[in-house]
Structure 1
């Protein structure tokens, strides 16, 4: 059996590949996590009395 030749990959190319893999992993995680609904203000109880700011008549 012949020994396969190993090609040298420049460092810049290997780092670019690692960055691309990392970006894909981050994007995959972002898409896998379900989005939480926007936090709305807590519901206020209905007021049965007049507001203190309203002028009395």
Structure 2
């Protein structure tokens, strides 16, 4: 069996490849995580009824 010839890879090419792999991993995680549901409006206080007295008496 013959040994495969190993050629040195320049550092710039190696770093570019690692960046590409990292970007793909980040994109994959972003797509895999379910989106958060939209925030609903905060709950409103209950509407006043006629059984409750007015806050400020009329003058």
Place the TM-score, normalised by the shorter chain, in its bin: 0.7 to 0.9
5+ residue gaps, structure 1, are none
> What's the counterpart of residue 30 of structure 1?
30
5+ residue gaps, structure 2, are none
- Structure of larger gyration radius: 2
Q: TM-score, normalised by structure 1?
A: 0.75
Deviation string 1:12-57 (CA, Å, 9 cap, x unpaired) is 00000000000000000000000011222322133125x86xxx6x
> What's the counterpart of residue 21 of structure 1?
21
Q: What is the aligned length? A: 52
Q: TM-score, normalised by structure 2?
A: 0.73
Q: Determine the C-alpha separation between the residues in 1 that align with 2:2 and 2:23.
A: 37
After superposition, the CA RMSD in angstroms is: 2.0
